């Protein structure tokens, strides 16, 4: 390709989303991935685009809400350019409520949601019906929200690659000598590189394990039960995840901790009892020290920018982050929220 206007390092969800946003602005984009697309945490299985609870509102929650509301048309645009599906669907979510105190808290959040989410989505308390695809609720009541969406991570990355290439972008293993702006979206490895020579780390990694079961539930909502995500995908599988491990022996090996999650999901939803496991996954998710996405200029390296720290919320945040980072790198327009700035993790 001709000399790029932007080089993006890392073909995970942040890197590919930023590359896509830049191509939509007419930029020539080169994505450099040393391993393979989705080599880090973005190549997982779960794909739960779930909102923060509608209370104690702050800039991070507001940003996520904007990005989740952007997601439908944003992914439709990717699919149109790529001619393949991303697995996106805004199917909502159900959560069981344990007792009267949990019901009261959920009802107060429903009031907040009407103000904060307005008419874009609902958060409500509904009676359990005992349906097969419904978590057992000790109180007999459930939370239902209509904002939660699903996305098949591996299909979504494939769609982004095809969309970028359809617009003339390049994805390869080798970086060029271009003087174009450089965006580093390199996940856990990138956090380690950013931490070199500093008195304290700018972030670290948390291992996650997940699985998919063969079970047709594509038109059903997600379930969130005792910290466990159960996500029906459009390909006739259900994703189960995930663990959060601070210590590990092997970054990409699954073990008995995943077996326990699968057993927990089968207990929560008996319909899954005989559903066969079709895939198992493990990887390291990048978590910035601030616990928010880390965006902005790389300190001391002019022309280099960072997009990292998408711990657990990277796919949900990606549409809006992509636009911000393309604005910054291509046009010098900086609208990054203070809580997300690289300086917040120094």
Residue whose token pair is 């995500």? 229
**Token pair listed for 105:** 């808290």
Full-model pTM: 0.96
Closest CA relative to residue 320, chosen from 108, 21, 106, 31: 21
Does residue 200 have a pLDDT over 90? no
Q: Distances in Å between the alpha carbon of 98 and those of 127, 139, 141?
A: 13, 5, 8
| Torsion angle, alpha carbons of 143, 148, 149, 153, to 10 | -100
pLDDT of residue 224 exceeding 80, the answer is yes
How high is the pLDDT of residue 311? Answer: 87
pLDDT at 317 over 90: yes
Torsional sign, CA 335, 340, 342, 343: positive
C-alpha–C-alpha distance, residues 164 and 267, integer Å: 42
Report pLDDT for 285: 95
On whether the CB atoms of residues 19 and 9 are closer than 8 A, the answer is no
Q: Say how far apart CA 79 and CA 59 lie, in whole Å.
A: 30
Of the candidate CATH numbers 3.50.50.60, 3.30.70.940, 3.40.1050.10, 3.30.2420.10, the domain formed by 6-90+148-201+289-345 belongs to: 3.50.50.60
Q: Which two tokens stand for residue 47?
A: 């794909």
341/52 Cα distance (integer angstroms) = 20
Q: State yes or no: pLDDT of 105 exceeds 60.
A: yes
pLDDT bin (cut points 50, 70, 90) of residue 290 is confident
Task: Tell me the C-alpha to C-alpha distance, in Å, between residue 313 and each of 54, 201, 274, 298.
Answer: 16, 21, 30, 22
Mean pLDDT of the chain: 95
The share of the chain scoring above pLDDT 70, in percent, equals 100
For residue range 155-198, what is the model confidence (pLDDT) as tens digits? 999 999 999 999 999 999 987 777 889 999 999 999 998 888 88
Please report which confidence band the pLDDT of residue 7 belongs to, taking 50, 70 and 90 as the band edges. very high
pLDDT at 93 exceeding the cut of 90 = yes
pLDDT by residue (tens digit) across 291-300? 899 999 998 8
Please give the pLDDT value at position 1.
57
> What's CA 209's distance to the chain center, in Å?
15
pLDDT band at 9 (very low <50, low <70, confident <90, very high): very high
C-alpha span between 172 and 181 (Å, rounded): 17
Q: Tell me the pLDDT tens digit for each residue of 47-74.
A: 999 999 999 999 999 999 999 999 999 9
Dump pLDDT digits (tens) for 226-269.
Answer: 999 999 999 999 999 999 999 999 999 999 999 999 999 999 99
- With a cut of 90, say whether residue 280 has pLDDT above it: yes
């Amino acid at each position: 390709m001709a000399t790029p206007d932007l080089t993006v390092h890392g073909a995970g969800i942040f890197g590919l989303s930023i590359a896509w946003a830049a191509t939509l602005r007419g930029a020539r984009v080169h994505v450099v991935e040393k391993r393979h697309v989705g080599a880090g945490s973005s190549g997982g299985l779960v794909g739960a685009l779930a909102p923060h609870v509608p209370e104690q509102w702050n800039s991070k929650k507001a940003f996520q809400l904007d990005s989740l509301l952007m997601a439908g048309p944003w992914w439709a645009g990717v699919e149109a350019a790529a001619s393949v599906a991303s697995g996106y669907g805004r199917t909502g979510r159900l959560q069981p409520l344990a007792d009267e105190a949990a019901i009261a808290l959920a009802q107060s959040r429903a009031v907040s949601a009407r103000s904060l989410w307005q008419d874009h989505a609902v958060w409500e308390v509904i009676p359990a019906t005992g349906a097969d695809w419904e978590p057992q609720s000790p109180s007999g009541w459930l939370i239902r929200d209509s904002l939660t969406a699903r996305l098949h991570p591996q299909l979504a990355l494939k769609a982004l690659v095809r969309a970028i290439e359809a617009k003339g972008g390049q994805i390869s293993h080798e970086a060029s000598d271009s003087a174009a702006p450089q965006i580093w979206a390199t996940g856990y490895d990138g956090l380690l590189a950013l931490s070199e020579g500093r008195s304290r780390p700018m972030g670290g990694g948390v291992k996650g394990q997940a699985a998919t079961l063969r079970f047709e539930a594509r038109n059903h909502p997600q379930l969130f039960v005792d910290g466990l995500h159960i996500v029906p995908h459009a390909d006739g599988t259900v994703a189960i995840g995930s663990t959060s491990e601070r210590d590990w022996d092997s970054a990409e090996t699954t073990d008995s901790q995943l077996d326990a999650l699968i057993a927990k999901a089968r207990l929560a939803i008996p319909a899954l009892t005989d559903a066969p496991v079709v895939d198992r996954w493990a990887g390291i998710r990048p978590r910035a020290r601030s616990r928010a996405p880390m965006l902005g200029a790389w300190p001391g390296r002019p022309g280099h920018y960072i997009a990292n720290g998408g711990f657990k919320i990277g796919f949900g945040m990606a549409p809006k982050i992509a636009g911000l980072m393309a604005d910054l790198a291509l046009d010098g327009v900086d609208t990054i929220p203070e809580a997300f700035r690289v300086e917040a993790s120094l």
